[in-house]
Amino acid sequence: MAKYRALLILLGVLLASLAACARLDRPYPLQSGPLKNGNNNIEFNEKFIEGVYTNLNLQDPMAVFQAVFSRLDEEVMVYPTENYYYFQIQASGQTIWGNLRFDACDRDEGIIHIGYFEYDENGNYQDREGKDKAISAKDGVLVKRLGPFEYSVSYMGKRVVFKLNNAWDSNPQKAQLRKTEVFVGPIFDESGLKFFLIFDREERHFLYILNEGGYVPERFIPLGEGIILGRRTGFAFFHDKQHRRKILIGVHGSSVDRNNWYDGPFDQLPDNYVERTNIKRYLEEAYPFAKGNIDKFGGYLTQKEARIPIFSYTVYYETEELTDLVRGCKEAKSRGGEFYSCITPDPYQVMMAPNPREER
């Protein structure tokens, strides 16, 4: 996940503001919908302790790849829509966070990517040191396309089938779109929440709307000003009752600092559907500086492994920053698309020369 920590901290500074405390009220009920039967995920401190006492050459990406690959089941599911298969390792006195990635740009060329860094619970030196590598047959790893959403990886006599997430199961139905809004594509975030990526053609602005077409693994707390806060993720939404939808307006700064699984959906764009989404067109409308400078995924033509982030939400540290944000937009008498753009500020639309985010 070596990437963009410094940029996101800057965004938090740009977007944060101070105010009075907001009172947390009773939680919204759990979302209805079917739950899966099966084994719950249970983590044991015993294994954590034993792990930090084991040895692993963390300076060698192939050694880390071998350690991860050897523990995989014969078939695994890659849920996030930018095709990251995340993992955590305890070894050599460290906690390592990382991922295997099937990049839509080069996976059909037989390449799988690995990236990892030492996780810092305090977020003080997150991502400053990390390793990454594009792995292929040159390294003894064979990646084979079995279908549009299925790849096999073979290494040292073991074969694993990776199933990518065919997330385009529905268009927004419960959530109503305004006349100027278009549905770009589906997003499955590593937090476990699903979103619809929306583009307002009049405002030239992106929105992330919560996909509530089924069970939503979150509990919400009302904050006031129409804001609800996810207890598990820390994601803040504006409950737009008029259009029966929840719009993402903020993620917690501590998650951004730590670069954990709750840093927001900006790094989970619908890459698997790039021909269908035509996202390049919308990116160039929202960010005029990108016109002629990006590929169909939004990656910069002159900067390898860097792309435009769609960061249309704020980074907050105190909940009153969220209520102040929405209250200020209401007091400004913003209407229609202007109001929704106001409560989902995107600093890339106000920066003259933003730095692109790097991939994990």
pLDDT tens sequence across 176-195: 899 999 999 999 999 999 99
Specify whether the CB–CB gap between 34 and 164 falls below 8 A: no
pLDDT value for 34: 59
pLDDT value for 98: 95
pLDDT value for 355: 52
pLDDT value for 27: 47
pLDDT digits (tens, 9 = 90+) for 160-175: 999 999 999 777 877 7
As given in the structure block, the two tokens for residue 165 are 């997430």
pLDDT value for 21: 32
Give this prediction's pTM: 0.85
pLDDT value for 35: 67
Specify whether the CB–CB gap between 316 and 253 falls below 8 A: yes
pLDDT value for 281: 95
pLDDT value for 241: 93
For the chain, report the end-to-end CA distance as a whole number of angstroms: 3
pLDDT value for 176: 85
- CA angle (237, 238, 240) in 5-degree steps: 130
Contacts of 151 (CB under 8 A, 6+ apart): 102, 107, 143, 144, 145, 161, 162, 164
Specify whether the CB–CB gap between 189 and 270 falls below 8 A: no
Q: Which residues of the chain have pLDDT under 50?
A: 1-30, 32, 352-354, 358-360
